[in-house]
Structure 1
Amino acid sequence: MVCTDKERLACVTYQLTGPADHWWETRRRTIDPVRREALTWDEFKEEVYNKYVHTLKQGNMTVTEYDRALCEMTRYAPELVDTDEMMAAKFRFGLRTEIRVPVASCQGISYSEILSWALDVEETLPKNERVANPTPPAPQSNYRDKRKWEGNRAPFDSKRHHSTFRQPQNYGR
């Protein structure tokens, strides 16, 4: 079975979580309704890539955190980094300046080698420069329950009021 663009978009946008979900909800509300109805899968994918994939940079992450973020991104856009050379180039391009400059001459080496070089450079930086603009980590949020129930909740809501927990008996008191 081949999915239509509308079906594919509905499925994928329903699965968005966290900042991507917030971005899409805002984008969906602000886009011209005619344009939104005519949006194709390729156009949506290009918007997502421009927002999240093409702009991925190390920022205030450590090299290890940036490596993980890049590897996570490749799950959603494998065609953008489908060779080791492309992966190494994408990684190098997104590194912070103080790490990218020393490894700029590392052209034509594997991703694992460029990662190793970047880790070595990071290790030589003073501790206060290993993370750009260090800030405390944001609290983790659980985005699993992000969707509102649109159906009849009555059968489920009534279950909340009928607890199966048995109250302790006050024997002899």
Structure 2
Amino acid sequence: MASYNPKTYDGKPNPVEFEDWVRSMDKLFDAINCPEKWKVGFAVYYLVGQADLWWETVKERRNNEDFGWTQLKDLMRAKFYPSALKRQKEEEFNQLEQGNRSVMDYAAKFMELSRFAPHLVATEELRMNKFERGLNWELRDRLSTHNCHSYQEMYDKASNAERIIREREAEDVVYKRKWEGTRTTIEIFRKGLISGMQNPLYLQSTIQNPLVPNVVISTIQLKSVGLQIIVAILVGVQVT
């Protein structure tokens, strides 16, 4: 069993660490097909710190015929997972929202806290409803058009919707930068037009129109067609 490198539990009042330790021991017992009569002995070997000191005060109970791994877990929960702390974690889950988290991070937190309020996710429908209520409004709005049949399906659709939203936001940023660059170009021509009134100047230039990619502005005379340049960039008319 030691070759599996089991976790230890130190008795600190952290319900997440405690439940993680219990879950890891359960998985290990299943993996090695551990006989029920050996589980308590194996489990207490991996208690350290305050948890180990506590076990010294109650270990006589293992002599009772009906004392097994299930009873040890109940006894430890009563000691290291008091009802006040349980209510606190339950309320934390009840108030859980996505906020600034990604869907993946929100789902991870959802799974972590849901075990402290199992009655709120006792069925697939309850789990889905609770998960959806915590999502951001934009994702909830997108999911409203889908009829999800499972929690996993809802998670997948929410993740995909989030990906599309982020891709669109990234495209908007690129477009904004291009448009700001075009506005700068317009300003340059405007200033050139003003100076060209005193000093006739011809500029040979080709500018890509970001609104109509196939339209360009070329062979521009600042003094005579400066106003047309601005109009051409905005509406996509080619000026030569």
> TM-score normalised by the shorter chain: which range applies?
0.3 to 0.5
TM-score, L = length of structure 1? 0.47
Higher relative contact order (CA closer than 8 Å, sequence separation 6+): 1
TM-score, L = length of structure 2? 0.35
Higher strand share: 2
Whichever of the two has the greater Rg, that structure is 2
